[in-house]
Amino acid sequence: MQQLLKPISIYPLVYFRILFGLLMFCEGIGAVLINWVQEHYVEPTYHIGYIGLEWIKPLPGYGMVYVYLLMALLGLQIMLGWRYKITSFLFFLLFGYSFFSEKTHYLNHHYLIFLMSGLMVLLPAHRKLSLDVRRQPELESDVAPQWTLWLFRIQLLFVYFYAGVAKIQPDWLAAKSVSIWMSYKTHFYVIGPYLNTPAMIWLVAWGGVVFDFLIGFALLWPRTRMAAFWVAFVFHIFNSAVFHVGVFPYFMIAANVLFFRPDQIARWFFRKEVSPAALQTMPLKQPKWQQRLGIQFFIIYLSWQLVFPLRHFFIPGDVNWTEEGHRFSWRMMLRTKSGAVYYTVQDAATQRTEIVSPSTYLATEQLKELPKHPDIIWQVAQIIKEEYKKQGMKNPEVYAISKLSLNGYPLHPIVDPSVDLASVPYTWGAKEWVTPRPVADGWPWAKQALSEAEEK
């Protein structure tokens, strides 16, 4: 316990504050310039929220564009350390608001940014080289408790390690999804012809497993740290160039520097020579009760991060098919899905049936995600039910006719087409109306439903 309260140089926190703020500025501006915000928030008429948090709604019109521009401004203020506690807290709130107000654009790196921005609020990253220190010199400190640095390190270790755990599955080890992705990359300048070769496909598949399992531990071990950092650097730059995953690769490269010793970070980035022995004589400026509270938070938060990503192991069914336990579990780039969904609405009183296209309610980016996620299929069924009630249908029954291909396997329904989704309450865990992942022979009712869908 005392080791976690050991004073260390504050420069790693200062370094990360500056890089985090800069990257969030770029993320906010970039999301607006490439029309990402407009596609996910402005164009949709209906928004799909997280179940239980549907009350969180995006601002109407171009409101979310202004939210992202404000987050970019807050990123600059975090970088400069101006009113750091307020600006970092506002950034955390706004990023969380944008994240939870539209589920169809869920990305693991957005979830990581949300978590890390919340951690930044609690840490004394503004007590050195900041405008806050210039305004209030008494804030300045050369040290921070050791747990503040290990909080980041262990969080990053979980991200890498659980990404490796998720890849231990037959489809990934057989390079099913990787071969599909690479087949669409052959047009890339210079590297394109090499991406869809068997050697590259197997390197990405098996190299990804080895990398995710070992890289966090290699960064922790001093003897392998420098080599591991450059391996991770190449890995993330490759992902950026080939898969276009936004700010995430650069965020991880910046965060990986935190595995180096605090005195090294001080020397490399700030040209400051820091003596670890001298730091031990410097008192922490936080009161004792704050130090104890910090240790308690450290234990509780990391215990949750240790357990929560494993929940899908306790839910029946293949998580890659059902999506139960997929989100918030560092299951990154594991599978490729394609398919289609349409709905039939039947008036329980007259038995009159209508076919409804989800494009009536959803925007382009939402339609891409709809066939992949049973929970979103259910939520859209609730939207359709409410719309038909407004039109005067007292008891509309809503059925989803779906077909989905996972990792290139034949199409199969992901939702039971005989279940009225309008009358089914949503429950956590395995759901009877979500079909199990198909086996080679499929099921008779599934084949029948598909043939009927194709006829229509």
417 and 303 together in one domain:
no
| pLDDT band, very low/low/confident/very high, at 156 (cuts 50, 70, 90) | very high
In this predicted model, what pLDDT tens digit does every residue of 34-64 receive, in sequence order? 999 999 999 999 999 999 999 999 999 999 9
Nearest Cα to Cα of residue 258 among 369, 125, 365, 366: 125
Domain boundary among 261, 282, 313: 313
| pLDDT band, very low/low/confident/very high, at 276 (cuts 50, 70, 90) | confident
Pick the more confident residue, 444 or 321: 321
* DSSP 8-state secondary structure symbol assigned to residue 318: -
1 domain-assigned? no
The rounded distance, in Å, linking the Cα atoms of 188 and 357 is: 35
Burial class (CB within 10 angstroms; exposed 0-12, middle 13-18, buried 19+) of 33: exposed
274 and 396 together in one domain:
no
pLDDT of residue 1: 67
The rounded distance, in Å, linking the Cα atoms of 324 and 254 is: 32
**Residue type for position 158:** F
149 and 284 together in one domain:
yes
Burial class (CB within 10 angstroms; exposed 0-12, middle 13-18, buried 19+) of 415: buried
Task: Using DSSP, state whether 244 is helix, strand or coil.
Answer: coil
| pLDDT band, very low/low/confident/very high, at 450 (cuts 50, 70, 90) | very low
142 domain-assigned? yes
pLDDT of residue 415: 97
The rounded distance, in Å, linking the Cα atoms of 130 and 78 is: 9
101 domain-assigned? yes
**Percent of the chain scoring above 90 in pLDDT:** 87
272 and 342 together in one domain:
no
54 and 197 together in one domain:
yes
Give me the mean pLDDT over the 161-190 stretch. Answer: 93
Output the CA torsion 122→125→130→134 (10° steps): 70
Residue 452 has pLDDT above 90, yes or no: no
pLDDT of residue 190: 83
342 and 307 together in one domain:
no
295 and 370 together in one domain:
no
For residue 103, what are its two tokens? 């589920």
437 domain-assigned? yes
pLDDT of residue 400: 98
In this predicted model, what pLDDT tens digit does every residue of 105-143 receive, in sequence order? 999 999 999 999 999 999 999 999 999 999 999 999 999
Nearest Cα to Cα of residue 247 among 2, 31, 9, 14: 31
The rounded distance, in Å, linking the Cα atoms of 320 and 88 is: 35
277 and 387 together in one domain:
no
408 domain-assigned? yes
The rounded distance, in Å, linking the Cα atoms of 13 and 93 is: 21
pLDDT of residue 145: 94
Residue 326 has pLDDT above 80, yes or no: yes
pLDDT of residue 152: 97
pLDDT of residue 344: 97
Residue 253 has pLDDT above 90, yes or no: yes
Residue 286 has pLDDT above 60, yes or no: yes
Residue 451 has pLDDT above 60, yes or no: no
Give me the mean pLDDT over the 176-183 stretch. Answer: 94
Total structural domains in the chain?
Answer: 2
In this predicted model, what pLDDT tens digit does every residue of 61-99 receive, in sequence order? 999 999 999 999 999 999 999 999 999 999 999 999 999
For the chain, the average pLDDT equals 93
Report CA Rg, the chain: 25
User: What angle in degrees, to the nearest 10, is found between the helix axes of 222-243 and 248-256?
Assistant: 170
pLDDT of residue 238: 95
Comparing 64-73, 199-208, 280-289, 304-313, the range with the smallest average pLDDT is: 280-289
292 and 428 together in one domain:
no
**Residue type for position 335:** R
Residue 446 has pLDDT above 80, yes or no: no
Domain boundary among 271, 298, 313: 313
pLDDT of residue 442: 43
What residue numbers bound the domain in which 142 lies? 7-313
**Percent of the chain scoring above 70 in pLDDT:** 96
Q: What is the DSSP string of 105-128?
A: G--HHHHHHHHHHHHHHHS-TTSS
139 and 263 together in one domain:
yes
Are the C-beta atoms of 423 and 389 separated by less than 8 Å? no
Are the C-beta atoms of 343 and 355 separated by less than 8 Å? yes
H/E stretch holding 417: none
In this predicted model, what pLDDT tens digit does every residue of 223-247 receive, in sequence order? 999 999 999 999 999 999 999 889 9
In this predicted model, what pLDDT tens digit does every residue of 6-33 receive, in sequence order? 999 999 999 999 999 999 999 999 999 9
Q: What is the DSSP string of 10-47?
A: SHHHHHHHHHHHHHHHHHHHHHHHTTHHIIIIIS-SS-
Domain boundary among 246, 279, 313: 313
pLDDT of residue 52: 94
318 domain-assigned? no
Q: Tell me, letter by letter, the H, E, C secondary structure of 273-301.
A: CCCHHHHCCCCCCCCHHHHHHHHHHHHHH
Query: Strand ranges (DSSP E) for 148-294?
Result: none
294 and 341 together in one domain:
no
347 and 236 together in one domain:
no
pLDDT of residue 279: 81
| pLDDT band, very low/low/confident/very high, at 441 (cuts 50, 70, 90) | very low
| pLDDT band, very low/low/confident/very high, at 445 (cuts 50, 70, 90) | very low
What residues contact residue 33 under an 8 Å CB cut-off, 6+ apart?
A: none
Are the C-beta atoms of 388 and 380 separated by less than 8 Å? no
